[in-house]
Structure 1
Amino acid sequence: MNVSLQFFDYHLWANALVFKHVKELPADIYHQEVQSSFPSLYETFFHMYQVDHVWLSTLKKESFDKIAADVQHLKDKNQEKSIEVLEESFIQMGEKYNQFIQKLEDLHAKISIHHPSYGTLTTSYFELLQHVVNHGTYHRGNITSILRQLGYQGQPTDYVSYLYETKD
């Protein structure tokens, strides 16, 4: 497998593993408030989902205004705050990413993105995908910390764990 695609596959694998683990725990912990980067497990997962959406839209060269409107729509759509619905949204987002990545002719091709506050950045598709993976890794660490605060173990999602599990 192409290393670029493998890193993204790792991201999807790790998210699925964490969802599976969290769903085995009591349902009342999803929204239990904690002192962390985000006030709950659900809010952490939802942030990860929103950011994955933002970056896929960015990679597709959608406008900043459209992306901002989409993020608001995601918030409105997820009012019920169901972990099962959010997990399905993650799965669908992963499929959209995989479809997008498969259509790219060159993951190292340059792309220029513009943000109203940060300006313009010229980088590669690969680097932006790597950012998505790193962002997910960071927040899966937050989820582990939240779980520990709530008295539960986290789930190992290190890249090497993925390599061991997928080596065949």
Structure 2
Amino acid sequence: MKKHHALQLYDYHVWCNNKFFLRMKELPKDIYDREIRNVFPTIAETLVHIYTADTIWLGVMQENSMEEIQASIAHAHEKTKKKGLEEMEKLFQHLSEDYQYFLNNERNLDKEISPVHPQFGRLDTYLSELVQHVVNHGTYHRGNLTAMIRQQGYSSIPTDYVFYLYELSSTK
């Protein structure tokens, strides 16, 4: 049976994050929290942003209350405060396991979902579209991370979806 596209997209998101963490471990440690002019001041703060956003959207997909989601934001900020690269990698790994548990146990990834945002109001969408949003958001900010690495004089790694597909097909 073919995997639902939302599950494959989320697997791609995890694959990209893992590739990024592997590349960061190859580079000098000081580039992780060196301040530079970019969308975020450091690679570390960019990773915190991605992690926090992923935490928020998991809560939305689980149809948690706004109070629960707000609490998860505060908890994510506390968990990520002054964390090094290896600690952030572990946090990302644990969060991806939470996502995979949720997504693999959800019977209908195309079910309608209607989160209500305090500023933007109600959004009638589908669970699979929110997964797409998480992946797009991560892709956007991994592009920021690539630029930040290059600004510091190093090459990054390609994380285009097609490279994920090639790697996936070579392991079959």
Amino acid at match of 2:54: D
Runs of 5+ unmatched residues, structure 1: none
* 1:38 Cα deviation from its structure 2 partner: 0.6
Given the alignment, which residue of 5, 19, 22 partners 2:21? 19
Report the equivalent of 1:113: 115
Report the equivalent of 1:102: 104
Given the alignment, which residue of 139, 142, 146 partners 2:144? 142
Tell me, yes or no, if structure 1 residue 52 matches structure 2 residue 54.
yes
**CA–CA distance in structure 1, aligned partners of residues 48 and 85 of structure 2:** 9
Report the equivalent of 1:164: 166
In structure 1, the residue corresponding to 2:30 is in which secondary structure? helix
**CA–CA distance in structure 2, aligned partners of residues 94 and 31 of structure 1:** 23
Provide, for residues 59-85 of structure 1, a one-character-per-residue CA deviation record: whole Å limited to 9, x for no partner.
111122221222122222222321111
**CA–CA distance in structure 2, aligned partners of residues 109 and 75 of structure 1:** 30
Instruction: List 4+ stretches of structure 1 deviating above 4 A.
Output: none
Report the equivalent of 1:83: 85
Q: How big is the alpha-carbon RMSD for the aligned residues of Structure 1 and Structure 2? A: 1.0
Amino acid at match of 1:114: V
**CA–CA distance in structure 1, aligned partners of residues 79 and 16 of structure 2:** 25
Q: TM-score, normalised by structure 1?
A: 0.97
Report the equivalent of 2:36: 34
In structure 1, the residue corresponding to 2:104 is in which secondary structure? helix
- Percent of counterpart pairs with the same letter? 44
In structure 1, the residue corresponding to 2:139 is in which secondary structure? helix
Runs of 5+ unmatched residues, structure 2: none
Report the equivalent of 1:67: 69
Contact 2:9 2:135 in 1 (8 A): yes
Amino acid at match of 1:20: L
Contact 2:43 2:145 in 1 (8 A): yes
Task: Count how many residue pairs are aligned between Structure 1 and Structure 2.
Answer: 168
In structure 1, the residue corresponding to 2:115 is in which secondary structure? strand
* 1:146 Cα deviation from its structure 2 partner: 0.3
Amino acid at match of 1:26: P
Report the equivalent of 2:133: 131
Contact 2:13 2:138 in 1 (8 A): yes
Report the equivalent of 1:8: 10
